[in-house]
A and B are shown apart, each in its own frame.
Chain A
Amino acid sequence: MKKRPGLASTLAIYRRELLSYVTTPTAYVFVAVFLFSIGLFTFQVGGLFETRRADLSAFFAFHPWIFMVFLPAVSMRLWAEESRSGAIELLMTLPAPTWSLVVGKFLAAWTVAAAALLMTLPLWITINILGSPDNAAIFTAYLASLMMAGAYLAIGSMMSALTPAQIVAFVLSVLVSFLLTALGLPLVLDFFSGIVGGGVAEVLARFSIMHHFDAAQRGVVEFRSVFYFVSLIALCLGYTMLAVDARRGG
């Protein structure tokens, strides 16, 4: 049987996955919950209206924390669901390289995250009606948020591939995402400062998702932050491939 070229199979898997998201109500529920919670946090906790500032800092500030919970819920089914339903057997026999399966599924989940972000655009429009924000900075923050979403989804994909139970995948993803996010928090840094000294703690902070999202939130694209997100996605998808390969092999 002729092997399908990687890119074409990536596209095929992407389409199949995306269709499964669009046709099942679960994804809608997740997106609705995401939109509701981000709105609630922005207005109730961030006090976007009360500050009277025409910027979206109150909106973007909560992205890491909401993504941390919402995106593992989207990604937990990526591989775990296939294992549960038995579809994994079929998938494993497909004449497609492992990477195309992994990338195709990841891109489909990323598209769902992008669609969820896209649905917050009314907020951008609202802020433009209320005042004159720095739109280039907001655009940069949206792109950074999308990159960050990719990183959380890649973590979720890795965990989903490592365990056959969706709920375990979800819990593990949230845990790892939390650790990577909170690494930049003073509480965590204090802890590390006490053990390994301030210098090492600062280096650790540079591996925090939050640290790399900060500059982008202000409207500055830093190459090293782009590199961090891309390499984190690559690392996690690499681990996903190893896990899937192990199953294929086994």
Chain B
Amino acid sequence: MSARRYAIFAALALFIAFVSANVIANSWFRAWRLDLTEGQLYSLSEGTRRTLDDLSEPVELKLYYSRDAAAVSPQLQAYAARVREMLQTFQARSHGRVRFVEVNVEPFTEQEDQAVELGIEPYRPFQGADPIYFGLTGANAIDDQRIIPLFDPQREAFLEYEITRLIYELENPNPVRVALITSLPIDPASAVNPMARSQNLFATEMGRLLDVTTLAPDFSEIPDVDVLAIIHPGQLSPQQLYAIDQFVLLKGRAFVALDPAQFMFGSETGFDPFNPVAPVPPASNLDPLLAQWGVAMAPSVVADFERGLEMPTPDPTTGQVVGVRQPLFFTVPAEDDALNREDLMTAWLSRGVNFGLAGGLTYSERPGIQVEPLARTSGATMRMPAAEALMRPSPFDVMRMWNQGSGRIENIALRVTGDFETAFPNGAPAATTAPLAEGETAPPPPPPTSAPLTRSATPAEIVIVADVDFLANDFYVDPNNQLTAADNASFVLNAIDVLGGSDALVSLRSRAASVRRMDMVDDMEADALRRIQRRQEELQGELQETEARLAELQERGRGSGFFAGNLGAELTPEENIEIERFRARALEVRGELRSVERDLRSDIDRVQALVVFINVWLAPLLVAGAGLFLFWRRQRRGSARR
């Protein structure tokens, strides 16, 4: 073989080896990866692995995907690759119990009819485009089916949870069973009774999505359910508290909403804030259980000055109705990590949650118990006695009470996880019975169903929210079109739903890479904002004072009679000088206000300039300098040799 022919042959062989080795590596070594991210963001979590291990029967996952139609959307294509790989990883990790197949859905084919029939939603990236099908069905051996109608790239963080959830539901097809303890007119049963439709959207949704048993006010035991929901429970007897304690130790799953100042359900409970003799609704608490879980709720309410909800309020000076932020009604936005972005209960809420006259939760560190805030206020807060807040002070009144710089971040909702000890170490409290009539014998005590638990039999997962008013429609539902403006109901339903899942499912977290902020710059900005606000307020005050004094002098100068219209005519020379001084000062203050606003960014701009200088200019200049020096030295040596 000639050298030339050998070279061509070798080049061809190398190329074929390269292509085929990579094609093989791509399919064989798909699962060989090392996730070095903090928190292992791109690996199957322990919860998913447990769910797959616990599968009792085979599951078939069918991905319906329009490959050709999706070519116009690179974002969707990239996401499809991620979904496919995750499903393949599920299959590989399932000990043969999960089978994954992909169906390429083309327009006007049998596959398209099948996808539509199963409920896969078509997506059109633009008008007139071919529909893209990108959903998943899961079926078990008895042909029970679950679907994910459309994989949305926006929800990538929840991809693993959604697939695991689908598999879990095939294994456990019944809806989550909930026992509800409440003193409020929340009636989930109305959801299934069209004649008695509840006006409360949350109650309706609860009844529609969950299997709810509302306990009677005199309940003495809690039925065997998945989750216990306690929403403003009213006064509970020691026996009832004991029943809750034992449920939490045995089953470990509870959603608790308490309130130091419940007022939205007031009209139904007889409370009228404008009637001084109307009974004030009692605060709800769950002592001694809360104390045992390491959590405390103060009897005061929290006002958030930064995130107050705007409400129409008459201005005390002009009488005009203007939109003013009411710090007692505030929102916890989805941004800025105010809602926990890693917990599945809150991570996908995008519109924030609105609260009103909410309490603040505090917790103490205890061995074996972890507490994670789910919803937090801004740092600009104040606490106000509940009774005072219930009298509905105007936003102006609340603003006046605020001492700037004194606030702190308050927890409105917490998730408590861990092993608890009973709040009743001496066993069940003695029942209080009515005195017996003469000749009557006491009924025998009910036989104990099981030995009382003193420690958690199942690790507990409890969600505690320091507000119940947020469940009233007025807080998040537009009365005109019944559309929701905030994620209040979604938050609770999602929390109960997550709590009702298996241990494995509950342990799953949102897999979004939590956005890491430039804390130093954020702190600088917050600091600058605070400084500027203070200075602005001072200057505004001064400006108002100056302008008022000016107006007063001008009014006096305007006069009447012969000199009417001549501003300076009726004023003394001193007063005229004062007018000029005030005018000059007003101009000065306005200028200063503008410069204060400009100053907002000056510190940050300086840091940015330094960072850009070091990283864009310094290194290249040093390297280029070294190169030039070298060049110069070589030139010099060269000329010296000559």
With a cutoff of 8 Å between Cβ atoms, the chain B residues found around residue A232 in the complex are 18
Q: Is there an interface contact between B67 and A53, defined as CB atoms closer than 8 Å? A: no
| Residue among A29, A207, A219 having the largest count of chain B Cβ atoms under 10 Å | A219
Mark out the residues of chain B between 21 and 40 whose CB falls within 8 Å of any chain A CB in the assembled complex: 21-23, 25-26, 29-30, 32-38
Tell which of A11-19, A94-102, A164-172, A241-249 binds the partner: A241-249
Q: A28-B626, A219-B37 are in contact. Are A227 and B25 (CB under 8 A)?
A: yes
Q: Is there an interface contact between B22 and A231, defined as CB atoms closer than 8 Å? A: yes
With a cutoff of 8 Å between Cβ atoms, the chain B residues found around residue A25 in the complex are 627-628, 630-631
- Tell me if A66 counts as interface (CB < 8 A to partner B): no
Query: Could you give, for residues 589-621 of chain B, a 1 whenever the CB lies within 8 Å of some chain A CB and a 0 otherwise?
Result: 000000000000000000010011011111111
- Tell me if A190 counts as interface (CB < 8 A to partner B): yes
Point out the residue from A35, A129, A201 that lies within 8 Å of B71, measured CB to CB.
A201
Q: Is there an interface contact between B30 and A193, defined as CB atoms closer than 8 Å? A: no
- Tell me if B642 counts as interface (CB < 8 A to partner A): no
Point out the residue from A52, A139, A218, A246 that lies within 8 Å of B517, measured CB to CB.
A52
- Tell me if A89 counts as interface (CB < 8 A to partner B): no
Q: Is there an interface contact between B32 and A222, defined as CB atoms closer than 8 Å? A: yes
- Tell me if B141 counts as interface (CB < 8 A to partner A): no
With a cutoff of 8 Å between Cβ atoms, the chain B residues found around residue A55 in the complex are 516
Interface residues on A, range: 35 or more
With a cutoff of 8 Å between Cβ atoms, the chain B residues found around residue A137 in the complex are 36-38
Chain A min CB distance to B39 (Å): 8
- Tell me if B129 counts as interface (CB < 8 A to partner A): no
Q: Is there an interface contact between B516 and A220, defined as CB atoms closer than 8 Å? A: no
With a cutoff of 8 Å between Cβ atoms, the chain A residues found around residue B116 in the complex are none
- Tell me if A93 counts as interface (CB < 8 A to partner B): no
Query: Could you give, for residues 16-58 of chain B, a 1 whenever the CB lies within 8 Å of some chain A CB and a 0 otherwise?
Result: 0011011101100110111111100110000000000000000
Q: Is there an interface contact between A35 and B619, defined as CB atoms closer than 8 Å? A: yes
Chain A binding surface SS class: helix
Chain A min CB distance to B528 (Å): 14
Residue in chain A with minimal CB distance to B74: A186
Residue in chain A with minimal CB distance to B4: A246
Q: A130-B519, A131-B520 are in contact. Are A224 and B30 (CB under 8 A)?
A: yes
Q: How far is the CA of A87 from the CA of B610 in the complex (A)?
A: 46
Point out the residue from B22, B37, B70, B516 that lies within 8 Å of A206, measured CB to CB.
B22
- Tell me if A85 counts as interface (CB < 8 A to partner B): no
With a cutoff of 8 Å between Cβ atoms, the chain B residues found around residue A130 in the complex are 518-521, 611
Q: How far is the CA of A224 from the CA of B29 in the complex (A)?
A: 6
Mark out the residues of chain A between 177 and 205 whose CB falls within 8 Å of any chain B CB in the assembled complex: 185-186, 189-190, 193-194, 197-199, 201-203
Q: Is there an interface contact between A32 and B624, defined as CB atoms closer than 8 Å? A: yes
Residue in chain A with minimal CB distance to B610: A126
Point out the residue from A54, A133, A223, A238 that lies within 8 Å of B29, measured CB to CB.
A223
Q: Is there an interface contact between A228 and B624, defined as CB atoms closer than 8 Å? A: no
Point out the residue from A23, A33, A215, A238 that lies within 8 Å of B14, measured CB to CB.
A238
Residue in chain B with minimal CB distance to A199: B67
Q: Is there an interface contact between A43 and B616, defined as CB atoms closer than 8 Å? A: yes
Q: Is there an interface contact between B77 and A119, defined as CB atoms closer than 8 Å? A: no
Residue in chain A with minimal CB distance to B618: A122
Q: How far is the CA of A33 from the CA of B616 in the complex (A)?
A: 10
Mark out the residues of chain A between 113 and 135 whose CB falls within 8 Å of any chain B CB in the assembled complex: 119-120, 122-123, 126-127, 129-134
Residue in chain B with minimal CB distance to A133: B516
With a cutoff of 8 Å between Cβ atoms, the chain A residues found around residue B68 in the complex are 193, 197-198
With a cutoff of 8 Å between Cβ atoms, the chain A residues found around residue B611 in the complex are 49, 126, 130
Q: A52-B518, A198-B70 are in contact. List 11 more A-B contacts (CB 8 A).
A: A42-B615, A43-B612, A53-B516, A197-B68, A202-B67, A219-B35, A220-B35, A221-B36, A223-B25, A224-B29, A239-B11
- Which A residues fall within an 8 A CB radius of B? 23-25, 27-29, 31-33, 35-36, 39-40, 42-43, 49, 52-55, 119-120, 122-123, 126-127, 129-134, 136-137, 139-140, 185-186, 189-190, 193-194, 197-199, 201-203, 206-207, 215, 218-224, 227-228, 231-232, 234-235, 238-239, 242, 245-246, 249
5 A-B Cβ contacts within 8 A? A23-B630, A49-B521, A189-B71, A197-B67, A227-B21
The 6 closest A-B pairs by CB, nearest first: A28-B627, A186-B74, A39-B616, A223-B32, A193-B71, A198-B67
